[in-house]
Structure 1
Amino acid sequence: MNNSSKKVIRTAFAGALAAVFVAVAAPAASAAARDGVCNDNEFCLYHFSNRIGSISDFTGNIPNYGDSQPTCYEFKKPSAAGYLECVKNNAASVCNYFDRDIRVYFNSNYEGTYDTVRANTCGNLVNTYYENASHRFI
């Protein structure tokens, strides 16, 4: 086997080995909806002001949080104030880890007074503080 054949074989082997490393590399972090943890690409409502208390995390629009079990969206972070309570009219602060703005509405079906939560920001609700029923991307 001449030197150029060996070089082609080594290059092919190195490329195949690199492909294996890429295939087994850890996947990028992604949102795990409704697990009580606020991740990238999630919108999160917190039971208390200043991101304190249990968390309810979402990846899409919600036209109605629901107001009673078993059909309501609930706070999911265990061992935190508000755990398993329905979100509707019980959220005081938010985080928006999307690259799009989101509105939290006073009423279901995206109606009434609202708070606009800018992309990649967190804060306390003002117009819908403990008076919230739906949210959607704008």
Structure 2
Amino acid sequence: MKRTLKFAAAALGAALLVPTLATGAQAAVSDCGEGQFCLFYNSNEQGSHMVVRSSIPDLAGYTFTSPGNGQGQHVKNNAASAVSNVCMTVWVNFYSNYGGPRDMFNYRNAANLVNTYNENASVKFASDC
């Protein structure tokens, strides 16, 4: 009987572990919750991130706050990727006050910054879905 209970406990533990392993690769994207736009310190939505809740004309003074590579670093001119879980178009701009080249993110879009990679100074929430 004890042997059966030990086997059942081991099987249950393994079954509970499988979903965690399957979702582990998606952890960075899920760190940016529904209704949030996040800028990440590293490419591929990795490292520390900052949640942006509304338009910011100048990212000076903002830092990456979540645990991970880049935590505490300035966001301005340091973001490499972004995740948009807000139902609107969001632009990451090269210059302060929403000027210059920009990268556009739509709802449920995650990507590396291209036009503003490590050269980002403002974020504009543009239009609703």
Give TM class, smaller chain: 0.7 to 0.9
Q: CA deviation at 1:90?
A: 0.4
Q: Distance in 2 between matches of 1:38 and 1:76?
A: 12
Write out the 4+ residue segments of structure 1 that deviate beyond 4 Å after TM superposition.
none
- The equivalent residue for 1:137 is 125
Alignment of 1:1-138 (within 5 A): 37-66=31-60, 72-78=61-67, 80-138=68-126
Give 1:59 shift: 1.0
State the TM-score, normalizing by the size of structure 1: 0.67
Q: CA–CA distance in 1 between the matches of 2:118 and 2:95? A: 12
**Residue segments in structure 2 that go unaligned for 5+ positions in a row:** 1-30
Separation in 1 of the partners of 2:55 and 2:34?
16
The size of the alignment, in residue pairs, is 96
Measured in 2, the distance between the counterparts of 1:74 and 1:61 equals 16
What's 1:4 paired with?
none
TM-score (norm 2): 0.72
Provide, for residues 9-63 of structure 1, a one-character-per-residue CA deviation record: whole Å limited to 9, x for no partner. xxxxxxxxxxxxxxxxxxxxxxxxxxxx421111100001001110111111111
Structure 1, unaligned runs of 5 or more: 1-36, 67-71
Quote the Cα distance in structure 2 between the aligned partners of 1:99 and 1:120. 8
Measure, in 2, the Cα distance between the counterparts of 1:123 and 1:43: 12
